[in-house]
Amino acid sequence: MQLVQSSRLLVEKDNKDFYKRKVDASIDNPNNSETHLFPLINKNKSKVDYHQLAKAIVHGQNNYRKRFLIAKKNYFTVLKTTDIAYIIVEAPVVYAVDFYGEKYPLDYTLDRIEKQLNPTVFFRANRQTIINVEAIKKVEPYFNKGLIAILVDGLDRKVAVSRAKSGNFRKWLNF
């Protein structure tokens, strides 16, 4: 059996059995790194499109949210996730704030939004805030081993990163 080097893994030429093993491993181990493949897999392990699955593995398919539909008084507008500087909870409402400081109400919980956003771009700094890496101007130490993320000019906001998350935050920034 010949092996061909791909960008992420070795792919067997006779790939049907290989991809079936990858699917089974992904289903059996939910902590597996291929959890982004679940939309391509029928839950009862039948009718798997191995061709689509192979493309997803090789190309690193992701299903992260790219935009939000925002309801205004008389119309709807689209807010791209690349335009979001941070997302914050104020009272019972969750707002996305763009790089100009304009707030947009969202109809989702912060937990649900966090799962839908690309984790290489967005980080859950604390219970109230998710921040975009592009919105961070600098980071300063805070008391009790916490951190403060100072956002770019125009946003005039400081976001506290909890002590429990400060280690992961440093790793995320250094990625």
> What is the percent of the chain where pLDDT is above 90?
53
Sorted by sequence, the CB contacts under 8 Å of residue 44 that are 6+ apart come out as none
Q: Which pLDDT does position 154 carry in this prediction?
A: 83
pTM: 0.65
> What is the percent of the chain where pLDDT is above 70?
68
Q: Which pLDDT does position 79 carry in this prediction?
A: 96
Rounded-to-integer distance, Cα 104 and Cα 83, Å: 11
Confidence of residue 47 (pLDDT cuts 50, 70, 90): low
Q: Which pLDDT does position 159 carry in this prediction?
A: 94
Span 9-36, average pLDDT: 51
Neighbouring-strand partners of residue 86: 97, 131
Q: Which pLDDT does position 44 carry in this prediction?
A: 52
Span 85-98, average pLDDT: 94
82: left (phi > 0), else alpha (psi -120 to 50), else beta? alpha
Q: Which amino acid is at 25?
A: A
- Look at residue 145 and give its three-state secondary structure: helix
pLDDT in tens, 110-157: 999 999 999 999 999 999 999 999 999 999 998 888 899 999 988 889
Which residue did the predictor score with more confidence, 4 or 65?
Answer: 65
Token digits of residue 88: 């914050």
**DSSP code, position 60:** T
pLDDT for residue 25 is more than 70: no
Q: Which pLDDT does position 153 carry in this prediction?
A: 84
The backbone torsions φ and ψ at residue 16, rounded to the nearest 5 degrees and listed phi first, read -60, -50
Write down the residue that tokens 């093993």 correspond to: 21
pLDDT for residue 37 is more than 60: no
Domains defined along the chain, listed by start: 3-59 (no CATH), 67-173 (2.40.50.1020)
